[in-house]
Amino acid sequence: MTASREYFLDLYDRQLRTDAETPSAVQVQRLGPLRLVTFAHGRGFITYPRITEHNPLLADLAEEALDYFIKQPQITQVEFKTRGHDYAPGLDQKLRELGFTAEEPESIMIGDMGSLYSSQPAPTGVQLGKIGAESEVEAMCRMIDQAFGEPYDPSTAQALIARLAKKDGMELWVASVDGQMVGAGRLEPVGGTEFAGLWGGGVLPEYRGRGIYRALTDARARSAAGSGFRFVHSDSTEYSRPILEARGLVKVSETTPYLWERD
């Protein structure tokens, strides 16, 4: 019997919010229900547990939360992560007034890890494997930014290199053709939970439609299951959502990141 959306949403709210989202945090400050998280390389992050009408309104706390990061000159970017199933009247308007910009909404996908297994082999000529060297991580990040049509951001590679040094279970998987990286994705086990996350999956446009994303998903899922993780979660774009739904994952809600950048 396939688990219901409500079952998976409850798992998400209980196991995958607040501290579970920020394993590499440098510092965490509380502000009511909000967690104000400082990451390395000038990144701030705001998250919170499930909010109902019985909790303080998030919009009332947003300005004070941003002020906390503005007072830290090393912080150049802040993300306020919102979820569609939370009680947050007025939050969108308040964040925009404060200078945040809403990114594209992403689907929160949850499912059984085994549902991502594929019965098909990797596409002919495609090699899959984990990477860890600094030069490989940098090359992977350049390729992923190219895949999504974004400028290369060296801070992303620096953050991943620092994370690998912690040996907390994160894995970086790449797909290569004739020695060239053409696709990649992260596997991030969530300590103390039954979940591992699939993040950052992308394939160069000219290599899409060949089963490379499927093969990368299969490899990461089997690696996670081998370490005892039962469930998978991912915040998915509209490109990857249908692929994950076809494999049995369920869309339980949406998340919209709001970004603020220092002038």
CB 223 within 8 A of CB 187: yes
Residue 256's SS3 state is: strand
- CATH code, 160: 3.40.630.30
Whether residues 64 and 147 fall in one domain: no
Whether residues 47 and 147 fall in one domain: no
> What pLDDT was estimated at residue 51?
85
CB 50 within 8 A of CB 26: no
- CATH code, 22: 3.40.630
Whether residues 90 and 208 fall in one domain: no
Tokens describing residue 82: 């919102």
Whether residues 120 and 232 fall in one domain: yes
CB 9 within 8 A of CB 252: yes
Whether residues 17 and 98 fall in one domain: yes
Model confidence pLDDT, tens digit, residues 74-92: 999 999 999 999 999 999 9
pLDDT profile of the chain (263 residues), mean per 10: 83 93 89 94 93 81 98 96 94 97 95 92 96 97 95 91 90 97 95 91 93 94 95 87 88 97 93
Whether residues 129 and 146 fall in one domain: yes
Domain of residue 66, residue span: 5-107+256-261
CB 112 within 8 A of CB 231: yes
> What pLDDT was estimated at residue 221?
95
Whether residues 46 and 147 fall in one domain: no
> What pLDDT was estimated at residue 1?
43
Q: Is 16 left (phi over 0), alpha (psi -120 to 50) or beta?
A: alpha
Whether residues 158 and 221 fall in one domain: yes
How many structural domains comprise the chain? 2
> What pLDDT was estimated at residue 188?
92
Whether residues 81 and 132 fall in one domain: no
> What pLDDT was estimated at residue 102?
97
CB 152 within 8 A of CB 140: no
Whether residues 87 and 127 fall in one domain: no
> What pLDDT was estimated at residue 68?
98
> What pLDDT was estimated at residue 201?
84
Whether residues 92 and 134 fall in one domain: no
Whether residues 156 and 62 fall in one domain: no
| Predicted model pTM | 0.81
